[in-house]
Structure 1
């Protein structure tokens, strides 16, 4: 394909083979395109596939969304729908602006079709994102905002930290993703434990209800993003907590600490600390989606993400019980043509 054979190698040469530099160039270029209506119109004609579906009480033009991590600070919000995405999730954003972990922190595993990252929630902060959304507006598709804990906030202060981000961004999100599963913020995954998660969800849902009441509208859906590394017992316990508190849905899954499935040529990168995404995650993500679907009796909407590098993986994710899917690594490695191919495969399902 054109992207794989020409465009991606060119981007990596220009970025001196630094995946993070390529990522930054891509988002910056799409941000510039977002300010050019004729360019956006041309992209829509090339990539857009309409197959509307209603999930979480929201109308999505199609089932394929952009996962969190690609556009953390919402710099290219008009471009993503023009590339065919039916919804966009920005972030993960934290209350405090933070630079993230030291570089290098993003590694491409070309033979494996995977990425290892230890970005560490690098973002400009919730207030900066709120200001950008207030100035530039939201995209013409549902907007999800992933919120996480600031690295500087102690675990005992996590609830207040999440609440501050929720309050700042509440006017702009169509749904919130509560990220308690990234492996790149020390101690964050402890928030998946029953007691910590119950406290966090109770406070966030109460805050959401208050904000919605003051705005005279329905509360914004809150979803929980889960790790693929949980045991079945731990995942079942997490889902029970979500059910007890009326969480709107689950995003399955985040990146994994496992290094299974790496190609021989990429084995040297197995020692790099961080979360693995891409092809090796596909089977486990589907297992988690299937478990969530079965454990909740199919009543809790699921956004399936992890290892979707082609139409078949997306179809299998829906067959496992997902209502929507998200792309990140597949898009980063194979470009916007993947969005169109997946949308065509899922159209009408």
Structure 2
């Protein structure tokens, strides 16, 4: 018997179903089709919420895709139920809004970058705790900042220099052969090579996930020119360069970067979706210890957790839920793990076993 405890409330299943429908709407890859079949077959509740979400979305193409994926469960000839639970309507509406805003340019105080003149410009983008937000950068690139993050950009006629000051960000980089797109994080620099990638800046390390193309990782004092970037599209400049490609993840230290010193790992589509679930305001856990889960939850709010018994922190948890939903987390721990809570201070919660 597995010792990994899974929690997934009806609301969480509903949220995930809406996310799947939104992905169907923009088109599924072969890997995603396999993932949705696996998810829907996990339980009848998954299949039901998927069907209800599709009816709410009310797009013929979505229903047709579901009919092809699940010919025995989803048929276009079935009459629609005119009633949808309000919670489902809200959940799908939130997902739709999230996807729309992901691709909208940010309307703020910064000036529009003049691409023809390529004048110099400097902007700072930031999110507060519990907030994630998408920004359209002056060159057309997209930056999606996670909770409590800050990004500084400095654009010049021959370069695009950015600095992640804190937190986490995902980039979808606009092509510009004459201006390299380089991001400083800690003491490292990450240069895009036709790329989409994610950077999380921790206290002692940096996590880098590449979702499209490749990136070059160097120390900050190494200058990368547009000629270097073009040559890297074919092959690395020399053996000291660290190249990370699409579908790979690396945990880096800030002291030095040598390809021989860093281990990269291949990640599956499911793992990429888990890593980037924060973009939709969700957190996904796949067997992490409760202590790790609480540490991650802490990034999205200012609540501190105390464990009455350290062994509670060793419980392995799997699940999918909203970031920042403390009440939902507490209710889940109580109903699934017999863990009770006590609010010892306005911003501090003590967790203990109900069996003691």
Given the two structures, how large is their TM-score scaled by the length of structure 2? 0.28
Higher relative contact order (CA 8 A, sep 6+): 1
**Which structure is higher in helix share?**
1
User: Which structure has the bigger radius of gyration?
Assistant: 2
TM-score when normalising by structure 1: 0.28
